[in-house]
Structure 1
């Protein structure tokens, strides 16, 4: 079900290690460490081998530099020649502070999050299949490195309490049929304990998009989620009795960026919706539409690609949501301790300990 390396102490830098089985889309590489007070730079390299002479190709070179105001340089080394630098001037790393880097491997790019905040995207310049080595160099202390692979698709939905969301004609579409604007009917009416899990990708030149939970009986929208990329405002509202209500905009950190892949979880409890994005709790929204049992449609509009979505029902056993799937605790086995520490992925308990994660 899951593949995960045991967390180990990496006291010796440079570190060079083989990535068993290579990298596949959907995999997460999670690095915990800290930056020494005297650091000038360090780098994380996804390499094609470990040769020194000639130097192995580097598919993804992630290089925080601390001089002046600081920056992060990303690049690719191909046949001992560096390509063009992609420079990010957001600097989430601080000297003397610990960090968590989560690198999500996607089909066409890497997506990097640092300390729960989206940082950057880096398109593949070298085939993902060639990457077999991880190298870490420079002035940095590494506490642990974890590789988390999602192979949940082989699980039996009937045993996991999963209900798919149908389209209007009752069929589950494949990726090519998730056109936006999109409306899908829920198999079951929404009620406390249910979760809607949505996977998507923000368009590269996105202005805004919206995700709505609504009723087919009227034009009412129980929950309107409207991220606006240009202004970095995350609007929440309800449309009731032919009128919009008061907008809610407060959020600690704007969670979206153009081109970004996301997994969005909407958990419904008796009094409010709770929303997490890429495993980070983002907001709460008190119910204005009280007839929860009438909420039976999901609508997606705007500058976004809808990749997948599920309605997850309550389950009699303690369960977790991982990447949009519902898993019984008994299925996690020995993976549980290390997985529970990786709060940066979509991974929340839906049992008595739910509030620990929110």
Structure 2
């Protein structure tokens, strides 16, 4: 495979705009480029022990007066006799008929990872890796350009991702690997051990932010090099800004992708794969996620 050739669909997502860590609630932000089918919003956090309700709104604008239309209103309620979730749409100042789910997949005092996955006709929501609900659009998804988070919720991270159509393990959702901030395992330089080496089918995903003005040229490249004095090296230039690097191990070698674009492949035998025992990351980068 030549550099620049697209890889087959892979179980990866890459960052569409910089994630937000520990926002102050209420929190309102622009969704860069608006919403479209294939985008995914990932929300990490926890529900306070005394929570009554919180709201996640996908809005058509961010004005205060008049109030913008809300294409999707996601509203878990914990303070009622029977906790439940409401989804609804606000159009020209009037709420439409609400859709209600009698069970809440979220619990007071517990952490969560919520994925909002946007399809052609409906939004699907998963909580901690399990499907929770789906809500059919009542306003065009293309009108949505603002995310609002309100109420009783502690948010540690908000991620805006591109959902790859690859379906991993028969699940209807892409895998949402959590973003981590200031985790000891993500301090650069860092290393991750593979005691048994690499094996066919393994996927290594690194996501982060390439910082401007690197200290040297080596921090502006991602390199994949096989062991030994005659090892083969593959390089891809890293632009400043958000970046997702994917390394796919398969029968006969490795494939490297940067932000979903294939940049090269290397032919390797299984014995050589088993000799690859360590992943090292260094340079001018802030890491958000390392998964393998």
TM-score, normalised via structure 1 length: 0.47
Deviations 1:18-39 (A, max 9, x none): 1111011111100101111111
1:16-95 alignment runs, 5 A limit: 16-66=28-78, 67-95=80-108
CA contact (8 A) 1:28 1:147 kept: yes
Is the 1:90–1:119 contact (alpha carbons within 8 Å) kept by the matching residues of 2? no
User: Which residue number in structure 2 is paired with residue 278 of structure 1?
Assistant: 173
Structure 1 residues 276 and 77: alpha-carbon distance in aligned structure 2, compared to 1, 3 A threshold: closer
Give 2:168's match in structure 1, choosing from 265, 269, 272.
265
CA deviations on 1:272-325 (whole Å, 9 max, x unpaired) are xxx655346xxxxxxxxxxxxxxxxxxxxxxxxxxxxxxx964611568x9xx8
Contact 2:43 2:155 in 1 (8 A): yes
Q: What runs of 5+ residues in structure 1 fail to find an aligned partner?
A: 153-198, 200-262, 267-274, 281-311, 342-355
Q: Structure 1 residue 110: deviation in Å? A: 0.6
Tell me the CA shift for residue 336 of structure 1: 10
Q: Secondary structure at the match of 2:168?
A: strand
Q: How far 1:9 moved relative to its partner?
A: 2.1
Q: Using a 3 Å threshold, how does the CA distance of structure 1 residues 79 and 335 change in structure 2: closer, same or farther?
A: farther
SS at the partner of 2:254? coil
How much has 1:10 moved relative to structure 2? 3.0
* 1:108 has 2:45 as partner: no
Q: Does the residue aligned with 2:97 lie in a helix, a strand or coil?
A: coil
* 1:265 positional shift: 3.4
CA gap 1:25/1:339 in 2 versus in 1, 3 angstroms: farther
Indicate whether 1:4 and 2:19 are aligned: no
Residues 315 and 94 of structure 1: is their aligned pair in 2 closer, same or farther, counting only changes over 3 Å?
farther
Aligned to 1:316: 253
Please say if residues 118 and 124 of structure 2, whose CA atoms lie closer than 8 Å, have aligned partners that are also in contact.
yes
The root-mean-square deviation of aligned C-alpha atoms, in Å, is 3.4
Q: Cα distance 1:60–1:276, how it changes in 2: closer, same or farther (>3 A)?
A: closer
1:134-213 counterparts in 2 under 5 A?
134-150=147-163
**Cα separation, 2, equivalents of 1:69 and 1:88:** 11
Structure 1 residues 101 and 265, CA gap change in structure 2 (3 angstroms) = closer
Conserved? CA contact 2:125–2:131, under 8 Å = yes
Q: Report deviation, 1:340.
A: 4.6
Deviation sequence 1:96-135 (CA, Å, 0-9, x none):
1111110011111111111100011111111111101000
For the structure 1 residues 147 and 88, does the alpha-carbon distance in structure 2 shift closer, same or farther, using more than 3 Å as the test? same
* 1:237-290: CA deviation from partner (whole Å, max 9, x where unpaired): xxxxxxxxxxxxxxxxxxxxxxxxxx5435xxxxxxxx655346xxxxxxxxxx
In the alignment, the residues of structure 2 paired with residue 49 and residue 6 of structure 1 have an alpha-carbon distance, to the nearest angstrom, of 20
Structure 1 equivalent of residue 131 of structure 2: 118
Which runs of structure 1 show a deviation greater than 3 angstroms over 4 or more consecutive aligned residues?
Answer: 263-266, 312-315, 325-330, 334-341
Are 1:4 and 1:335, in contact at CA under 8 Å, matched by a contact in 2?
Answer: no
**What residue ranges of structure 2 are gaps of 5+ in the alignment?**
1-12, 176-248, 266-283
Distance 1:314 1:335 in 2: 31
- Partners of 1:337 and 1:276 lie apart in 2 by 27
